[in-house]
Amino acid sequence: MMPAMDNGPVRSISIGLSQSGVRDHNERLLLSLIQRHGAVPGSALSRLAGLSPPTVSGILRRLQSEGLIERGDPVRGKVGKPSTPMRLAARGAYSFGLKIGRRSAHLLLMDFCGAVRMQKKITYNYPLPDAIFAFLSDGLKALTTDMTPDETARICGIGVAAPFELWNWHDLDSEDVKKFQSWQDIDFTTKIAGFSSLPVMVMNDATGACQAEHTYGRGKAFRDYAYFFIGTFVGGGIVLDNAVYAGRQGNAGALGSLRSIGPNGESMQLIDMASIHLLEERLREVDLDPAQLWSDPESWKRLSRYVDPWLGQTAQELAKAALSTCAVVDFEAILIDGAFPSEIREDLVNRVRRYVATQDTRGLLAPRIETGSIGGNARALGAACGPIRAQFLLNTHGET
């Protein structure tokens, strides 16, 4: 079940085109408006899209006949006949999302409304290629076992979210180094084509998390923002003009690479100073199993002796990174999420707010510091969102 949405405003998106030959754009626009605003009557869609009521009615009939939208419950106003809002049909389309993480991989099946229907997980010391592709191949079969032929035919693709330069982690056991570095030579699309005919989309994992937040979470309330996701390592994404901006080579918003300074004055990156990996290392030093951070949410409370100092350092680093990011683009907000319990997220965000208030902000417009809302599943949901956006919704910058 998706997390509760913030009650803040939903920002509008671009209006439709009226020329002939752009039906596909207008269909995507109406689907995007319904996805963004929830159930909407045709009259309101016409105003939001800037399209004539007959044009909107024709498109809605076509989308309904294809099973992509359905009628909601009639809403009676003060006068006149009740209006019937149109909403996305959950069974209208499905997508797989695979997140390849440092400690685990998640595979989920998501419906058209963004709800997770089923999911599977595998844990490991390092994500080695053979194990990951075997997990994906077996998982695709397992997650479709109970689907009808019509539902299976509506699966539109597989999204894969993985860290940029997946092979470039350096703390490996010697015997695994060669196997792990083989990721550099792997083409995901070709490899997956060996056991699935579905289209494949590959994205940076933090960009995927940002896409999930912007599509299904609190990101709807903001037009331009930077997004930080704290997992085993920290990463990020950016949203400009209501669209996730992936960049020329798909690595825009690589916020984990922002410069920082280590305790001895050495040059470091945010990823070295504000990642759960640091907390794991501290637990190992005192002979505590760091795996409990991922398997037992309550462990974050039990381990407060170690979690609190980590939260303090992470908040300081995020505050500095947030202001550095806003020196490039005057974002209205910074959203922070991560693979930890929601109460840890709230604590972290409150600490970041306090640190930002004490920083030198000359020449800057200080942003709002806000919590994300998706949590640990953000990267896999963002991966699954990719094929659905590519086929049905208005996508990112540069689309015509």
144-184 residue pLDDT tens: 999 999 999 999 999 999 988 777 765 655 666 677 777 88
pLDDT of residue 73: 80
Give residue 15's pLDDT: 54
Distances in Å between the Cα of 137 and the Cα atoms of 36, 130, 155 are 32, 11, 15
Whole-angstrom CA distances from 13 to 30, 148, 223, 243 are 10, 35, 9, 9
Element (H, E) at 95: strand 94-100
The angle that helices 342-358 and 304-326 make with each other, rounded to 10 degrees, is 50
| pLDDT score at 22 | 47
0.75 surpassed by pTM: yes
**What pLDDT score does 288 carry?**
97
* Alpha-carbon gap, residue 318 to 328, rounded angstroms: 16
- At 80 the pLDDT is 58
For residues 383 and 45, give the distance between their C-alpha atoms in angstroms, rounded to a whole number: 28
Residue 267's contacts (CB-CB under 8 Å, 6 or more residues apart) are 259, 261
Neighbours of 209 (CB within 10 A): 35
CATH for 92-208+380-392 is 3.30.420.40
Number of Cβ atoms within 10 Å of the Cβ of 44? 16
Confidence at residue 176, expressed as pLDDT on a 0 to 100 scale: 66
Portions of the chain given CATH number 1.10.10.10: 23-88
Q: Supply the pLDDT for residue 20.
A: 45
* 218-373 maps to CATH 3.30.420.40: yes
- pLDDT computed for residue 124 by the predictor: 84
Instruction: Identify the segments of the chain with pLDDT beneath 70.
Output: 1-23, 77-82, 169-177, 395-400
Integer Cα distance of 397 and 400 in angstroms: 9
Please state whether beta strands 225-230 and 234-240 pair in parallel, antiparallel, or not at all (unpaired).
antiparallel
Angle, alpha carbons 105-109-114 (nearest 5°): 110
What CATH number belongs to 23-88?
A: 1.10.10.10
Tell me how far apart the alpha carbons of residues 179 and 3 are, in angstroms, rounded to a whole number: 38
Region(s) of the chain under CATH 3.30.420.40: 92-208+380-392, 218-373
Burial zone of 259 (CB within 10 Å; 0-12 exposed, 13-18 middle, 19+ buried): exposed
* pLDDT attached to residue 262: 84
Q: Residue 282 to residues 278, 295, 303, 341, 381: CA-CA distances in angstroms?
A: 6, 18, 11, 19, 30
